[in-house]
Structure 1
Amino acid sequence: MVSRKHSGQRMGLLQQRCTGHLLFALIFLKAAGALALMIYALVCEAGNLVNLPDKRIGFYNFCLWNVTAGKLQCLKHKHLQLMGISLTGMVLARICVYVCLVFSMFYTIFIGYVKCTEERVSWKVILIVPIIMMIILSGGLGIFLFQISQWIHLCDFTGGFLALVATQALLLLQILTATMYLRWVKNTHPRQSPFTEGALPIYI
């Protein structure tokens, strides 16, 4: 009976380890997905949230259809100011969004580092970083949309905008998964790594 009890405890600990690995893998996959979406929106789509034949509006472009010329006309900074668009606000929005892209790159690498080193001190950063990224990305998008709201409609948004919205959703899922992971960590042995064999007691 003692042997069965020990066997059951060991199986329970193995299940805990599998749970930890699964949660960590989900965090990594969501981080990689968010990075891929941001690269698509900000690099592949060049930061354009609206990319239509008669309108192209993004963090670096503001082009409207010129009926006289019969083509898209990209407006310069002085024209945007005359239209009531704040250049400071546009620059701030651009910085916020592209800073998130940089954060996302380093965050994905950092997750791999935490998994390899298994430093418990670093695990809380896994939760803090996506919260910061979500706040910054939301702020950048909010500022940008506020500036150009009168020149676009909801149906105008194309792939770049949808990718950033999907990034927000993945960041939220990352936060929820990281919260579950940290709760799981608290239930593991406080002095041993939950990813190593050392976390599993050996019964003779």
Structure 2
Amino acid sequence: MTATRSRPVGYAIWLIIASIAGWWAAFQLTIEKFALLENPDAQLSCNFSVVLQCGENLSSWQGSVFGFPNPIIGLTAWVAPIVVGVALLAGARFSTWFWSLFGLGITGAFVFVCWLISQSIYQLATLCPWCMVTWAVTIPTFFATVVHLLRSGALPVSSRVRTAAGRLMPWVPLASILAYAAIVVMAQLAGLDLLSEVARAIF
């Protein structure tokens, strides 16, 4: 197998695309946060309705879990997957300890996003547009990273598990769609008409 063929090109490209989208969403939320700090009554560009808005999320304690605005985490954290994706395309090979730390970081991001989703739907009763962009890229990034770690041998698993994981990567998009569907169902059951609110904002 050649070096080029052994590179996880698809995974690397996804890391770059997802990270750019996630970083941009964090950047937009940071701008909106600055606007709120300057004027608490400011009309934010991401506020489309009572349900579809980011103002409530940014002003809540959930929006600053660690004592500073959550978007700052995105501005810094999304840089790492971009670097890893570019490095993989360039042919870089990372040690097991690096992949373990990277996987731990992606898993932490996934858990944090799942918690934010639950807080947004069940506590704040709002759907933040830029937050949803973050959700949309974090979920498949987590699935793809877990599969990659298993298939590449970065995690101590048997060859049978590695082979099985290698066949799972094409199913990541479907798994992500099912996760999105679960979020929609959660929002609907909570009384938030997600689909109609998004359609209204677009059209």
TM-score, structure 2 normalization: 0.50
Higher relative contact order (CA 8 A, sep 6+): 1
Query: Which structure's residues are more often helix, by fraction?
Result: 2
* Bigger Rg, which one: 1
TM-score, structure 1 normalization: 0.50
Query: Which structure's residues are more often strand, by fraction?
Result: 1
